[in-house]
Each structure stands twice: as structure tokens, then as C-alpha cells.
């Protein structure tokens, strides 16, 4: 089993060997749809403020690229766009490449820490990636170093929502360590400490946990993604507690999610 707190190992497990768990999670949430609606509006404003006929865009941890493509297509309505999509997972990149056949995107198979960019960017996004990056300060400073003048950085990361509370509660039960997953409050503190100005928008969504309550295969896969632990290896008591928790805290089989979109301008 993965070491729950090693960011690199966790990423390799969730987006490489077990990437179908991530895709199953995506199928159970309105998070992606709501993020895309939000991002499309946002990048329209950004494209207006960029004083360059050509925009260089970098997505750090692009995954299978649904948000990356939505951003590129929106930017392209106003500007010429040169895009770089970076991700360490070959599985994610291969899905992305298969859906982006008409786009000329530079794909980079690397994590952010090891990548050596050869240029600066007007827009750098990193959406739900920082959970898998150990040193946030270094990662942000590297983004700042590769930002064009007047360029914009967006880091999206979850808030302490109901799904987060569920994970943290059971992570403590399973691993016996009270070490919650990192969230946007930690990012706010770090940015304040580094004296980096930012603002945040929150985007809400819902996780559909009805399959978890029905305990069918999709539900078990969803629990494995959220808890980062094989369901079969959980004790009988914990399985019962999970069911009781979901009955008690999910509203009609849905749990609220809330993500912070942190903008450094």
C-alpha cells in the first residue's frame, strides 16, 4: 500500500497504476463541470488584460487535460496561444493526447520540481496538483520566476469541505495519524508569509456518494480514491463506520465540495 503522506508515491499510485480510480471520481462529481464554467469566464478577463498578440500558457499537472483544453479554446477566441501541458503520469498524458489531436500542444512528461522551462509564460495554472508537491514554497517561487511581466498564476486546491473532513476523519482511523491532507488555508498562510499578493475565488460542487452507500463496485472505487486505501483491507468496524458516516452526513447521497482558486497577479 502507498505511504499515505509521500506526495510523489501517492501521485504515482493515483494517476499511474490506479488512474481509473481518478476517472471514476471525476464521473461522480460536478467539480469538473463547475470548474470549467468558472475558468472559461476567468480566462476571458485575463486574455483582455494580456498586452501581447501571443499568449504562452503552461498547465502544471494537466492530468487528462479537460480543463487545459477548455482554457486553451477560450483563450484562442481572442489570441494566438502557445500551450505547454506538463504531467508526470504517462497514463494521464496519453488520454490527453488522444483527445487533443487537433491541438498543437507541447506535452512534457515530468513533475514540476524537475522540469526546466526554457521560456516564461503569461498564464500558469496548477489545478488540484499541489497535494502531490512536497515543497510548496519552491514550487511557487519557480512559477514566479517563469512568469512573464504582467503574467498570472492560478493554483486551485480544495478547501476544508465535507469530502475533505470525511477523508481526514477516516485517514486518522485507518492510519492512526492525525495528518489532514493539505488545503487552501495552508496556501493562504504561506503566501502571506512570503508577502505574495493574491486573491481567491471559491467554486462549489457536489460529490455523488450514492454508489458508496449502495456499496457497488463504482462506490468501492470511489471510496478507494477518496481514502487512498484499498477497501478490502479496511476492518469490518471501519467499513461500518463509513456507511454510518455517509448516511449521517451526505445530503440525499451528495456531499458538498469547495475549491479555492488562488490567483497571483
Ligand X SMILES: C[S@@+](CC[C@H](N)C(=O)[O-])C[C@H]1O[C@@H](n2cnc3c(N)ncnc32)[C@H](O)[C@@H]1O
Binding site for ligand X (CB under 6 A): 11, 15, 60-63, 67, 87-89, 92, 111-113, 127-129, 132-133
What is the closest distance, in whole angstroms, from the C-beta atom of residue 34 to ligand X in the complex? 12
Judge contact between 158 and 258, C-beta under 8 A.
yes
Give the nearer residue to ligand X in terms of CB position, either 56 or 228.
228
What is the closest distance, in whole angstroms, from the C-beta atom of residue 127 to ligand X in the complex? 4
What is the closest distance, in whole angstroms, from the C-beta atom of residue 248 to ligand X in the complex? 27
C-alpha pair distances (Å), 89 with each of 26, 34, 131, 207, 225: 17, 24, 15, 24, 16
Give the nearer residue to ligand X in terms of CB position, either 113 or 148.
113
What is the closest distance, in whole angstroms, from the C-beta atom of residue 225 to ligand X in the complex? 10
Question: Any residues with CB less than 8 A from the CB of 165 and at least 6 apart, and which?
Answer: none
Q: Phi/psi of residue 36, each to 5°?
A: -65, -40
Question: Any residues with CB less than 8 A from the CB of 155 and at least 6 apart, and which?
Answer: 125, 126, 127, 130, 140, 187, 261, 262, 264
Give the nearer residue to ligand X in terms of CB position, either 74 or 89.
89
What is the closest distance, in whole angstroms, from the C-beta atom of residue 110 to ligand X in the complex? 7
Give the nearer residue to ligand X in terms of CB position, either 40 or 128.
128
DSSP 51: -
Judge contact between 57 and 121, C-beta under 8 A.
yes
Give the nearer residue to ligand X in terms of CB position, either 36 or 238.
36
CB-closest chain residue to ligand X:
63
Give the nearer residue to ligand X in terms of CB position, either 127 or 234.
127
What is the closest distance, in whole angstroms, from the C-beta atom of residue 78 to ligand X in the complex? 23
Return the beta strands (E) in the chain as ranges. Answer: 54-60, 80-87, 105-109, 121-127, 147-158, 199-208, 254-264
Give the nearer residue to ligand X in terms of CB position, either 123 or 133.
133
Buried b / exposed e across 146-165, counting CB within 10 Å, b at 16+?
bbbeebbbbbbbbbebbbbe
What is the closest distance, in whole angstroms, from the C-beta atom of residue 239 to ligand X in the complex? 25
Give the nearer residue to ligand X in terms of CB position, either 16 or 244.
16
Question: Any residues with CB less than 8 A from the CB of 239 and at least 6 apart, and which?
Answer: 231
Set of cell numbers at residue 122: 503569461
What is the closest distance, in whole angstroms, from the C-beta atom of residue 192 to ligand X in the complex? 23
Amino acid at each position: 500500500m502507498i505511504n499515505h503522506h509521500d506526495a510523489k508515491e501517492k501521485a504515482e499510485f493515483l494517476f499511474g497504476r490506479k488512474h481509473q480510480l481518478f476517472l471514476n471520481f471525476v464521473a461522480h462529481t460536478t467539480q469538473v463541470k463547475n470548474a470549467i464554467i468558472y475558468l472559461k469566464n476567468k480566462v476571458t478577463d485575463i486574455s483582455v488584460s494580456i498586452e501581447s498578440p501571443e499568449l504562452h500558457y503552461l498547465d502544471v499537472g494537466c492530468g487528462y487535460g479537460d480543463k487545459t483544453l477548455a482554457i486553451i479554446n477560450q483563450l484562442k477566441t481572442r489570441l494566438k496561444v502557445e500551450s505547454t501541458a506538463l504531467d508526470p503520469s504517462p497514463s494521464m498524458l496519453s488520454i490527453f493526447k488522444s483527445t487533443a489531436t487537433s491541438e498543437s500542444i507541447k506535452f512534457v512528461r515530468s513533475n514540476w520540481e524537475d522540469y526546466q522551462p526554457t521560456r516564461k509564460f503569461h498564464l500558469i495554472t496548477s489545478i488540484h496538483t499541489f497535494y502531490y508537491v512536497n515543497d510548496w514554497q519552491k514550487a511557487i517561487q519557480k512559477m514566479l520566476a517563469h512568469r512573464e511581466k504582467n503574467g498570472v498564476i492560478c493554483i486551485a486546491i480544495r478547501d476544508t469541505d465535507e469530502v475533505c473532513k470525511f477523508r481526514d476523519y477516516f485517514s486518522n482511523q485507518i492510519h492512526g495519524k492525525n495528518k489532514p491532507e493539505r488545503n487552501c488555508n495552508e496556501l493562504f498562510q504561506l503566501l502571506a508569509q512570503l508577502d505574495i499578493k493574491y486573491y481567491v475565488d471559491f467554486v462549489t460542487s457536489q460529490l455523488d456518494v450514492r454508489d458508496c452507500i449502495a456499496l457497488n463496485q463504482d462506490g468501492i472505487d470511489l471510496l478507494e480514491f477518496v481514502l487512498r486505501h484499498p477497501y478490502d483491507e479496511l476492518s469490518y468496524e471501519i467499513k461500518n463506520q463509513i456507511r454510518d458516516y455517509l448516511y449521517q452526513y451526505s445530503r440525499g447521497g451528495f456531499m458538498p465540495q469547495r475549491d479555492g482558486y488562488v490567483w497571483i497577479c
